[in-house]
Structure 1
């Protein structure tokens, strides 16, 4: 994550003030590493500070930091920030003593990789200080107040632009549904009612098309229709893994990729001739009851599927962020908002929605948020496979392909933040 081009960093307070906006929260017990491209801030990386065993020999940890930062091919220097509350109040700055070896190892490894450490700081809840400065005339003990960071010009500018700093991802829980218990009961009843006809149509190409027709407008609006019947339909559709994956792929890579991938996986059954079902709609889906999308007694003829070719990415390539070269971030952002609303109802559908949000966060390069969403998915449905697989990628530190490339990476602050 980088700050908008026309925002000028005038001092360390601006850099330190930008980090919580980049991450979305004030980090704790964390190492934050940032790349530099000349005088311009580049990518931001956050890792948990290592424990005593790693600190005893920090070379491997430093190598991990280097490997992550190498994703910024234009980086020519780096900045390091140790967010820790250790040792500030005892007057001896235990944080400096604890992490001196790690800082030295990072300096050596990043310097050899062509990203020498330009500056480094320690930041606690109450104080911050330069990691290299020992002159108490400019760096008095225990440090300068963190109010300098909160009052920085860049922090004020980010707030003015609508950026906010929230709680850490592990402290965030899905917001309670803004509906009465009666409405919640109605939502769950609607979902249960949809599950029966949808389950009979899992192999139907016509039903698959009707499903994508219902989801596609939501990628443009980012708003889930308020009608419980429509929400029940959407939640029920997420319970079918192949349909859930098609929704994620369509948001990132378009409908052609979603359809071609489904065809490749062989999810369609030519013998499935039931007319598709969905909420009746005029424009955006607003439920008026159940209906058959087909009419008459003749067979439903599936829409043609383009034959797979090298220009249409497969599901695996999309879900790992390898293709397309740049995903449709607008659709993915809007899908994230919709999934947030659908997760409020709990249960297996919520697990599917939270796993989808975890995937989107991972694609954005926000591992902490991804882990939080995926953990919540497993709370809703222990053993939920997609959440388990994605959480393993996050825990291994695997970067999504898009997050590793500047030209493809998500930009929190809009197109001028490249």
Structure 2
């Protein structure tokens, strides 16, 4: 894939939108830079008043995981308007500047993105040029991403196809659960992994029997964890895979297909069996750097089963601001676009 070049603010916003997959709202987006090459991209909600210093340290800690990064490009997305010389969230950017300096990094440039326009964050409010956000639609970067099949959603709200909220699959899943209970732990794990591997290596969606088998296997915590760890195709300890702390890069095309398979399983799941599937989908989104979407999937899992332990613990982890290790390294992050700045 040929590298692309960022030249204009519209290019920057197009890159952010396509990298995240949605248009941010009330957000701070930071992109690490090293030798004019893009590194990690981080989006976080804007902070509440009075929390700017702790917030800035948290953001700087995330960005510092990119060991090659020397500088940062940021964009503040907000509906707040500029008041004279006062810029929206200027205390946040001031705190971030100091926190980055403590880690040997500096802010290279910044953008202020409103509801209709984008301008330089530090520009003179009377003299600075404001570009309409519609300019992103005609940017070279946007055109190239669209050509490659990428799109930008208006928000990051998840949409799922409807699942079976009645008992169409309950009896079949319960029957399979009883059969699995009759196996030794070793045989149950072996059969579950064999089925999952067959599904991951296939190029078509599974039949109903295979889908029922996957739904049933995910009901067992030990099997569920192993099947999730099998998704990225990395031969490293399970805990390192699940927490995205491996030395190897995930096979992202395999991860994408796994998510499609799990969504397919969700559509065949009654509510009482859907929490494990939704939790596995949440982990995939977290691995891909989509923490807010992961949170939404975990909330759906907890709606299906308020006592589902892994969903609750994972939601607490994401709520505390933990970012997947793969996302903080441009060599392992999802959708390494190979862009450079100019």
2:139 corresponds in structure 1 to 152
| 1:189-338 paired onto structure 2 within 5 Å | 189-201=171-183, 203-221=184-202, 223-225=204-206, 227-253=207-233, 313-323=236-246, 325-338=248-261
2:150 corresponds in structure 1 to 163
Displacement of 1:5 in angstroms is: 5.5
Looking at structure 2, the residues matched to 118 and 405 of structure 1 have their Cα atoms a distance apart, in angstroms, of 20
Looking at structure 1, the residues matched to 332 and 284 of structure 2 have their Cα atoms a distance apart, in angstroms, of 14
* 1:46 paired to 2:39: no
Displacement of 1:412 in angstroms is: 5.8
Q: CA RMSD in A?
A: 2.4
Which secondary structure does the structure 1 equivalent of 2:73 belong to?
strand
Q: Give the conservation status (yes or no) of the 8 Å contact 1:21–1:164.
A: yes
Looking at structure 2, the residues matched to 382 and 249 of structure 1 have their Cα atoms a distance apart, in angstroms, of 24
TM-score, length-scaled by structure 1: 0.75
Looking at structure 2, the residues matched to 34 and 153 of structure 1 have their Cα atoms a distance apart, in angstroms, of 19
Looking at structure 2, the residues matched to 18 and 364 of structure 1 have their Cα atoms a distance apart, in angstroms, of 16
Q: Give the conservation status (yes or no) of the 8 Å contact 2:40–2:329.
A: no
Looking at structure 2, the residues matched to 365 and 52 of structure 1 have their Cα atoms a distance apart, in angstroms, of 26
Looking at structure 2, the residues matched to 368 and 412 of structure 1 have their Cα atoms a distance apart, in angstroms, of 20
Task: Specify which structure has the bigger relative contact order, considering alpha-carbon pairs within 8 angstroms and separated by 6 or more residues.
Answer: 2
Which secondary structure does the structure 2 equivalent of 1:403 belong to?
helix
1:370 corresponds in structure 2 to 294
* 1:176 paired to 2:162: yes
Q: Give the conservation status (yes or no) of the 8 Å contact 1:186–1:228.
A: no
Displacement of 1:327 in angstroms is: 3.1
Which secondary structure does the structure 1 equivalent of 2:112 belong to?
strand
TM-score, length-scaled by structure 2: 0.90
Identify unmatched segments of 5+ residues in structure 2.
none
Displacement of 1:83 in angstroms is: 0.5
Identify unmatched segments of 5+ residues in structure 1.
258-312
Kindly tell me the number of residue pairs found equivalent between the two proteins: 339
Alignment match of 1:188 (pick from 155, 170, 191): 170
